[in-house]
Chain A
Amino acid sequence: MKPRNLAIVLTTGLALTATACGGDSSGSGGSGGVSITVACRPAKTAPKLRDAWDDDVATFEKAHPGVSVKSTDQQPCFDPKTFAAKLAGGQMETVFVVPVTNYGDVIAKRQAKDITASTGVVKNFGDIKQDVRGMVTKDGKVYGVPNVSYSVGLVYNRALFAKAGLDPDAPPRTWEEVRAAAKKIADLGDGYVGYGEYGGGNTGGWHFAQALFSRGGEMVTDGKAAFNSAEGKAVLHNLHDMRWKDDSVGSRVLIGWESLMQQMAAGKTGMMLGAPDVITDVTQKFQGKAADYGITGVPGGKASLAGGEAYMINPKASPSQTKAALQWIDFQFNTPGKGRFDFARGKANGEAVGVPNNDYMGDSPTGKAIAEGRKANAVLPVKNYEPYVDAAPGITPKPEPEKAQELYAVLDVAMSAVLTRESADVDKLLADAESKANSILARR
């Protein structure tokens, strides 16, 4: 073989392999069937959840002959890092999840399919709370099926409360009470932290926003930063004093969102801001003792940061794929007693059933059915979560501000400052953050 022939063979070989490796999003299953890819299969680190998911896929395929479902288990399930590239590269699943923070962005960039005409496939779609549905609706068109909605509360360790001589059934309602309780817990001795808080990795700013809302403050009004206010200062002053006067928030500047839950699970941290799903993670992922954890409404109780997610459909999906995808969403995520709401199975698998971590259906018939199923199979002490459920109606849910991640990065600076420097000047920190935030908000 002549050398240049060899070279040609070599390059065509390369080309072939590379194209073979290239992503291919839409495939049609075997004989006249349809195949879809779905995101969010539980990771290998949670074998039981994973098996349950696989069983659900099998059940679903049996009920819908001709539909084949392939799951992906990329963690985290929504990765902002690769989201745009996956779409551009045609590697996005047919069904993918989007957190509430990114709804606007994804819909504006036309990265999700308009499913207005086929929402009926999801039988209980109408039972989803109106305001939650409103978030995935733009100009009267629906772009997703909400799947979770929660608002932040205060997660606390009841056992530590008892140990410190506090009443676990009367958790703090105001930030003053939080501070007093934290001091008592920290006084238990070395290694005890009264109230855990983040200082970086964008989680610091995120928690700042939560504390700000709870006091009735605002992050952004009319496209301008609004957190340099009495409420904002109160948030930072309170944290600064807890750190330096009471020494009740520990000395670590935590940066990863998992780090605080890990500490919570270790049983030496008294309180943290968090939605009910924090309890699920603390008890399941980090092996905390389920009976020890309770949750109550956010201190201050003015408003609470609402979080949640929705499943959306790949804009490149064919009509038959779209239908199959919605059938999957209906079966797995929106049917009481099935899929993720199969609480009986969850109980058998030792899942932390019982956390009121999702009220996206509100008081609708479906919502009630789900709540009953949860209660009937609860393995967790449901009583521990009553304070949260009782407080919920009085607290206004608030969505995240625009350009949330960038604002959080700016506020990380203020949060880490009050946690690491006794000399931190709250007024200056907030003034700086405000001007930074305004320059970010002023950009297109």
Chain B
Amino acid sequence: MRTLTVKPKPKQQVATERRVAPERQVVPRRRPPTKRRRAARRNLTAYGFLCAALFCFALFAWWPIVREVVLSFQQTNLVDEPSWVGLDNFRTVVNDPAFGEAWRNTFVFTLLALLCGYVVPFAVAVVLNELRHARAYLRFVVYLPVMLPPIVSVLLFRWFYDPGPGLFNQALDAVGLPTLAWLDSTSTALFSLVIVSTWMNLGAGVLIYLAALQNIPGELYEAAELDGAGILKRIRHVTIPQTRLILTLMLMLQIVATMQVFIEPYMLTGGGPENATVTVAYLMYQYAFVYGGNYGAGSALGLMLMLVLLAVAAVQLRLTREEK
């Protein structure tokens, strides 16, 4: 699940610029109620409109966050009352040999995905922005995989990766290169997952960068050109500074998104070979739903992941604030 931060659109739908009229003369048709009564009524109405949303958020967004913290210190089988176990869950999780591997894999995956899913789309967007033909087609195809349900992409690539008749090895074979074990080797498994993940999500990044690039005033390039800047220099001194804000934003979003990799190891490798593709999210799932319902340990791990993501978010806020 990847959300994109979208800023509000400029007010062009609504015609007219707003007239600020603090002291408008209103002709009341009946005695105005006192200020306080009116405020109370307005509040009541507002909360009437809000209550459904508050209900949904309270139970399905805010409560689980609190519950994650509580569960981290509890043991429960869902049937009897949960019992408090202090730091046991954290001990379990930290002492699990897969713990270090999961974090390492998650970080490596994030780094690789940043290379593939952050640098590449930007480069692609820069190229697309220069092209004057086939633009609609290129945009359409680059976004096509983003629309597919992830399970489709994952199962499709599982077939491509097949060491025998799979497309990738057959293609390598056809051009005389040595074939690879892809998912079946510790050295390539994680990278193979990154490829799938990138293929699925590249399009969103490309289109967002493209929009940002189109907002760069042409005069800046002209000025740079007059200063004798070559193409690479123009990219360095005009393109990148002009899109810095969105680049920072996307960097953080990418990190948050890749931290939660689950479906790729779940469907393609089962965390193997030799735990080479166990991610934190996958390990959480194992604790809670495979190892006989260890919800406490899963939550403890989830809490750690939450703290890491919050740290990332804090950095992001700070960076964007500096930009402003």
Contacts and interface: CB of A to CB of B under 8 A. Distances in A.
Our verdict on whether A and B bind, yes or no, reads: yes
Interface of A: 3-4, 6-8, 10-11, 14, 80-85, 87-88, 102, 105, 109-111, 191, 199-202, 204, 251-253, 255-256, 403, 405-406, 409-410, 412-413, 416-417, 419-421, 432, 435-436, 439-440, 443-444
15 contacts: A3-B49, A4-B45, A80-B289, A83-B293, A84-B77, A84-B79, A109-B79, A199-B273, A204-B272, A255-B270, A405-B291, A409-B291, A420-B181, A420-B186, A436-B97
A11 B272 contact: no
Contact of B291 (A7, A83, A85, A406): A406
Interface in B78-118: 78-80, 88, 92, 95-98
B95 A439 contact: yes
A23 B70 CA distance: 26
A252 B163 contact: yes
A443 B184 contact: no
Given A432-B97, A444-B88, 15 more contacts: A4-B48, A7-B49, A83-B293, A87-B79, A201-B272, A251-B184, A252-B163, A255-B272, A409-B290, A410-B97, A412-B270, A412-B272, A413-B272, A420-B181, A420-B273
B48 A81 contact: no
B272 A416 contact: yes
Contacts, number: 120
A88 B272 contact: no
A11 B52 CA distance: 6
B172 interface: no
Contacts of B79: 84, 87-88, 109-111
Contacts of B183: 253
Given A7-B51, A84-B79, A420-B186, A413 B292 contact: no
B274 interface: yes
B184 to A, nearest CB: 4
Given A200-B272, A251-B163, A412-B272, A109 B77 contact: yes
B287 to A, nearest CB: 9
Interface in B246-290: 269-275, 286, 289-290
Contact of A413 (B47, B51, B275): B275
Contacts of B92: 443
A312 B92 CA distance: 31
A202 B278 CA distance: 13
- Residue in A110, A253, A436 whose Cβ sees the most chain B Cβ within 10 Å: A253
A200 B97 contact: no
A interface secondary structure, majority: helix
Interface in B46-80: 47-49, 51-52, 55, 77-80
A6 B49 CA distance: 9
Interface in B12-63: 44-45, 47-49, 51-52, 55
A204 to B, nearest CB: 7
Nearest to A412: B272
B230 interface: no
A433 to B, nearest CB: 9
Contact of A409 (B49, B52, B286, B293): B286
A437 B78 CA distance: 26
A200 B273 contact: yes
Contacts of A199: 184, 272-273
B185 interface: yes
